[in-house]
Amino acid sequence: MTAIRATNLSKRYGKTMAVTDLSFDVDPGRVTGFLGPNGAGKSTTMRMVLGLDHPSGGSVLVDGKPYQELRHPLRKVGALLDAKAVHGGRSARNHLLAIAQSNGIPAARVEEVLELVGLGNVAGRRVGGFSLGMSQRLGIAAALLGDPEILLFDEPVNGLDPDGILWIRTLMRGLAAEGRTVFVSSHLMSEMSQTADHLIVIGKGRLIADTSVPEFIGRSSQGYVLVRSPRLAEVAELVKVGELHTDHLRVTGVSPLEIGTMTARAGLPLEELTFVKPSLEAAYMELTKDSLEYTS
């Protein structure tokens, strides 16, 4: 069964359409990356999944039900939204105990999750003094408290050092390998390509792609051939379809072999003839270029 199903989901804030007619499924047993530029509507969508915001149109179901109708929500869904949004005066342990108590989760589970996220040694310390990395770990501990089947992480690697990033990535992959549903948002393609099995890409609140990582690259441009020559203008004239830059020619739709054959016949020397594959980052930039809220 699909864990999360959004159907024609929309959210309007005054004049802004944060999410428009968005439909997608998130399935168990894999990491689904929720990717989009800043302001694309990822957090808004996640808040609607968790019943923290009401859709202006359409619906989103968790395990077949609206979030509000789940009998034990924390045992079904765990979420990390804003890691810094915790009561700073409490210790990490007391913060988790308060959540556990109000959700009928045994206190022993608090110690388990503290160990799981590596905060066992600092459990008695005030949360207010935690670094961003420690706060992220605490947020993840809270998400894992109810041992939920479904996990939502909103930009979990923001501001983390490489060790922290690797830790979260390994954790998410492990949770998916246990058969859980992991739905994680990011605005970084590079991060998603190393973590996700599947991608849901949005821009300006609309669905751009719902695909596997290899399919995603395949859909975008087919790459190009980079040509350098001491007689570049003549090569450009011969190849005809190339885009001439100061020190090289970019050719799409003609293979390196065809270009090499043409230039050899014409007696034109080549310094470089390289097929440049589109990178994941380039594919993402190309797909989302029309949907950036702000451009630099």
Ligand X SMILES: Nc1ncnc2c1ncn2[C@@H]1O[C@H](COP(=O)(O)OP(=O)(O)OP(=O)(O)O)[C@@H](O)[C@H]1O
- Indicate the helix (H) or strand (E) that contains 212: strand 206-212
Cβ at position 92, least distance to ligand X in Å = 25
- Pick between residue 108 and residue 294 the one whose CB is nearest to ligand X: 294
Cα–Cα distances in Å, from 237 out to 94, 258, 259, 266, 288? 73, 15, 12, 11, 33
Nearest CB to ligand X, comparing residues 47 and 248: 47
Q: Which is nearer to ligand X, 45 or 181 (CB)?
A: 45
For ligand X, the closer CB: 42 or 93: 42
Q: Please, which residue, 48 or 251, has the CB nearer to ligand X? A: 48
The residue with tokens 């395949």 is: 218
Sequence-ordered list of residues with C-beta below 8 angstroms from that of 57, at least 6 positions apart, any chain = 8, 9, 10, 21
The distance of closest approach from Cβ of residue 223 to ligand X in the complex, given in angstroms and rounded to an integer, is 29
- What is the contact surface with ligand X in residues (CB under 6 A)? 13, 16, 18, 36, 38-44, 187
Query: What distance in Å separates the CA atoms of residue 217 and residue 285, rounded to the nearest whole number?
Result: 11
Q: How many CB atoms lie within 10 A of CB 138?
A: 25
Distance of closest approach, residue 40 Cβ to ligand X, in angstroms: 4
